[in-house]
A = this chain, B = another copy of it.
C-alpha cells in the first residue's frame, strides 16, 4: 500500500508506448481493480465456467493488450506442469535427412502451439544416452527420435522416425520398405537386370536392417537372386558420397560382373556413379543405378538419378501429430506399434535396359 500505484483508474492520456518491463498478472490485476484470480481466468478462456461478467472480460482483455501482458512461462509451467515443448533427437541437424523431417515436425508442432528443442548426437554414445535425460530435465512432454535408437524406457511418450523399433510404448513412423524395394527391384527386373549389386547402409543407420530385409523378401517374390559377392556395405561415418565411392571401388576391384546397382541412398549412389565413371563404365549404358531418398541433387545431377522417394517431411508431420496425440491421450496401451508411410518411385535417367 505504501508505493505509488502506477495509475489508479484515473483518467490519463494514452499511456506511453509500453516498453515496460513485462507486466505481471499482479500489476494487471491491480491496474484493473480485480483479483489475479479473475484476470487469470479470463486470460485462460475459462471465464465461462467461472461466471465472469462479459463486460469484465472485455475490460481485462483490453487492458492486457494495452499493458502488453505476457504470462510468465516459468510460473505457468510450474503450476500446470505443462511445458508445451517436445525434444527432437537427430544424428546431425545439418544433414538433409534430418532437416527435412524437422521441417515436417515443425509444421505440425507450431500449429499446436508447441515448441521443440533439437539436439544432435552424432552417433556418439555418451550423447545418445545423455540427451534423453537432459531433455527431460528441460521438462519436455515428449520426444521424437529421428534415425536414433532409444534404449531406456522414458516417462514421456516417444515417437521414432525410421528408428530401431524397440517396443515399450514406442511408436515408430516407418517407410513401407517392402513397397520401396518392390518399386526399385521390379523396375530393374523389367529392364532385364539379373545380376544386381547392392550397397548396404552403415551398421549404425537404423534403416539398414529393415531395408535389407525387405530387399530379400522382394527378391524372393520377384524371383531375383541375390549374389552374395555383389553385396557391399558402406563404411565410416563420413557424410557425402565418399563412402559410396569407396564401396563401388571395392566391388569393381573384386571383378564380378553386374549390370545394375541398388544403392542404400542417393549419396552413395552418386559416389558409386563417380567410381563407375572412373573405371570407364557408363551410366546407364553399362550399369544402371537406383538410389534411395530422392535428395534435391538427385534431380539435378547428370544423369538424373532414378530413386525411391521418401516423403520425409510427411514423416515428420506424422511423427509430430502422433506424439501430440500420445501426449494428449496418454500412452495407454499403444494401439499400434508402427505407422507406415508410402514411398514414391522416381524414374530418371540412371537406369536403362540391361546390357546384353
Contacts and interface: CB of A to CB of B under 8 A. Distances in A.
Contact of A106 (B68, B118, B327): B118
A18 to B, nearest CB: 4
B74 A74 contact: yes
Which of A13, A16, A110, A138 has the largest number of chain B CB atoms within 10 A?
A: A16
A330 B16 contact: yes
A221 interface: no
Interface in A107-130: 110, 113, 115-120
Interface residues of A, number: 84
* Total copies of this chain within the assembly: 2
A270 B300 contact: yes
Contacts of A241: 300
B45 A6 contact: yes
Nearest to A326: B16
Overall SS of chain A's interface: loop
Given A18-B156, A301-B302, 13 more contacts: A4-B43, A4-B70, A7-B43, A15-B82, A16-B156, A16-B157, A20-B155, A22-B155, A72-B78, A93-B106, A94-B102, A103-B120, A300-B301
A81 interface: yes
A120 to B, nearest CB: 6
Contacts of A18: 155-156
Interface string A296-334: 110111100000000001000000000000011011000
A14 B330 contact: yes
Interface in A13-28: 13-20, 22
Nearest to A102: B93
A64 B4 contact: yes
A274 interface: yes
B2 A65 contact: yes
A239 to B, nearest CB: 8
